[in-house]
Structure 1
């Protein structure tokens, strides 16, 4: 009992308790932000000057090519491809897309993280003179991606979310929790 009373009078205890409370609250905010992300492309047909596709999940690159082929975007930036990757290797179904021009697709081979995707794609987007972009990634990844891109890109470039479903619509608690931890970490320095 004496130890408990001494602990409750300790500034270190209350400082740690406050820190744990703040981190828990921020984690919950990130978790809710991720879970509430909707697939807006199901509600309307998106259009923009360019699409920026973040690699790393099923269906993202194909969705980018679909947007280009359907003329929803004029240019496609695929961010985070392997350094030796070639366009035809990334999209083996290229020949099925008709008369797409390889000049309309730019591969960013330098990015390895979501932060890197934002930093490395910005000069490409500016060089292509894109006034607005569709940010293409998974529903689970969209919350962190959008906030990172919004912080890295200037306000005059409008960013539209274009979330896709790579597997199932509802993510597991573990997937959401892991993404919330990454998002919490990113919130400290990236947005």
Structure 2
């Protein structure tokens, strides 16, 4: 009897591990090939989440290339000013958000900023490994907002880089937790 119980728990754990590992493989593959959706579409606003290389530069480039009216950068360090981030003084319509310290707070900060705007859709700029979780958080807080993902691959972030797997592992587990929370709600 004890052997049957042990076998049942061992098989259950093995099955859960195989599902988790398969999900990790899917996640790593998905983020590795992630590309911006509808790159030529103009949106009502561009939202950049800080925390990784190339994100702000990509947001500013998008603002210059498109007819988007506003760029909001969420999660900016309180000691940083706009001139520290963007050297081009000719660029207008950039707002810095200083309140967010994590992805859920990014979504809340953006929602508050959007409440003063007439915005139906946004282009969300963040790292490729962060995009899935960011989309889940934003859709949870703003389900009616049309969100166009614009993932950016950080410098040196590839499958052969020693930072790839620790970052991917961590982000996958955070994404999995958020997904499970949303499924329970």
Task: Give your verdict on TM over 0.5.
Answer: yes
Whether 1:109 and 2:73 are equivalent positions in the alignment is no
Structural mapping, 1:2-21, within 5 Å: 6-9=2-5, 14=8, 18=12, 21=15
Alpha carbon RMSD of aligned pairs, Å?
2.6
| Aligned-partner SS, 1:166 | coil
User: For each residue in 1:111-161, what CA deviation from the matched residue of structure 2 results, as whole angstroms up to 9, or x when unmatched?
Assistant: 111111111111212312211000100111111111221121132x20000
In structure 2, the CA distance between the partners of 1:184 and 1:82, relative to structure 1 (3 Å rule), is same
1:139 equivalenced with 2:133 (yes/no): no
Q: Are the structure 2 counterparts of residues 57 and 153 from structure 1 closer, same or farther at C-alpha, using a change threshold of 3 Å?
A: same
Q: TM-score, normalised by structure 2?
A: 0.81
For normalisation by structure 1, the TM-score amounts to 0.79
Deviations 1:82-101 (A, max 9, x none): 1232111122x223xxx322
Which protein, 1 or 2, shows the higher relative CO under an 8 Å CA cutoff with sep ≥ 6? 1
Question: Which structure 2 residue ranges, 5 or more long, are not aligned?
Answer: none
Give how far 1:22 is off. Answer: 3.9
In structure 1, distance between residues paired with 2:58 and 2:51:
13
Is residue 115–residue 148 contact of structure 1 (8 Å, CA) maintained in 2? yes
Alignment partner, residue 162 of structure 1:
150
The number of aligned residues is 178
Matched residue, 2:47: 52
Q: Give, in angstroms, the shift of residue 187 of structure 1.
A: 2.1
2:60 equivalent in structure 1: 65
